[in-house]
Amino acid sequence: MGKLARKRVVLKISGEGLCRPETTGIDAEELQRIAAEIRTIVDQGVQLALVVGGGNIVRGNELAQKIDIPAASAHYMGMLGTIINALAVQEVLESLGIETRVQSAISVTSVAENFVRRRAIRHLEKGRVVIFAGGTGNPFVTTDTCAALRASEIGADVLFKATKVDGIYSADPKTHPDAVRHDQMTYNDFIDGRLKVMDLTAIVMCQENRIPVVVFNVKQAGNMLRVVRGERVGTLVSEQANV
């Protein structure tokens, strides 16, 4: 076990990490692939907490635009989607011999523990992977905010945001082919640039609690281990740009 042992990290996995590009739901191969990647970092001895998104099932904002229901209900549906994902991730991690606990912000005690901060920390100290489900339990925010919140609560050293893009760009690379990827930037650069890759609330919370954030592409094999080892992958958002 190397110098990473006992480092406490929060890894946010977006729902898109569990399905193939441009699809929805859960894909068996993608799920296995991501679990195998997670195993590589568990093997490093880090204390690992996962926050699982739900965008592969329901995003509240998008659903409320499609069907005529109150936005708050659509967001609750999104939060329930994260619980479905968390149970899938739990099962596949356990099948790889990794001990896990799911803690949900929405009470579903037949399938998961309720979120209890001190209990979550105890699980981490015992070497269990804690999977935070149900988002924050409140509508109108996303699981990025949940990840920042949980990272702040459990005193995480760093927040990794695993997503389908390979970092933070100066503009949306789909519509701006000349957009450049930042290797690193400050929280204030992110906030001033009104960048969309992560919630503003999440970044502000990380800034206040001095938690560095790394945004990286989860679809590239080996990235998870690289990022946890501190290699330059994706974009680092922190207090100082030149660290």
User: What is the rounded distance in angstroms from the CA atom of residue 177 to the CA atom of residue 171?
Assistant: 9
Nearer to ligand UDP, 139 or 193 (CB): 139
Site for ligand UDP in 123-142 (CB under 6 A): 135-136, 138-139, 141-142
Is position 14 an interface residue for ligand UDP (rule: CB under 6 A)?
yes
Q: How far is the CB of 178 from ligand UDP (least distance, A)?
A: 26
Mind giving me the DSSP string for 68-118? SS-HHHHHHHHHHHHHHHHHHHHHHHHHTT--EEEEESS--TTTSEEP-HH
* 20-49 residues near ligand UDP, rule: CB under 6 A: none
Question: How many residues comprise the chain?
Answer: 243
The least distance separating ligand UDP from the CB of residue 53, rounded to whole angstroms, comes to 2
Task: Say whether residue 54 binds ligand UDP (CB under 6 A).
Answer: yes
The residue assigned the tokens 């692939």 is 33
Q: How many residues bind ligand UDP (CB under 6 A)?
A: 22
187 closest CA partner among 213, 165, 161, 162:
213
DSSP state of 16: G
165 closest CA partner among 116, 110, 217: 217
CB of residue 97 to ligand UDP, shortest distance in Å: 26
Q: Which of 55, 167, 212, 234 binds ligand UDP (CB under 6 A)?
A: 55
Q: Is 174 left (phi over 0), alpha (psi -120 to 50) or beta?
A: alpha
The answer to whether 207 contacts ligand UDP (rule: CB under 6 A) is: no
Give residue 117's identity as a one-letter amino acid code.
Answer: R
| CA distance readout (Å), 127 to 45, 49, 71 | 8, 10, 38
User: Using the rule CB under 6 A, is 143 a contact of ligand UDP?
Assistant: yes
Q: Which is nearer to ligand UDP, 20 or 122 (CB)?
A: 20
Answer for which of 9, 50, 53, 166 binds ligand UDP (CB under 6 A) is 53
**Is 78 or 212 the residue whose CB approaches ligand UDP more closely?**
78
Residues 62-91 that bind ligand UDP (CB under 6 A): 75, 78-79, 81-82
- Residues of this chain that bind ligand UDP (CB under 6 A): 14-16, 53-55, 59-60, 75, 78-79, 81-82, 135-136, 138-139, 141-143, 145-146
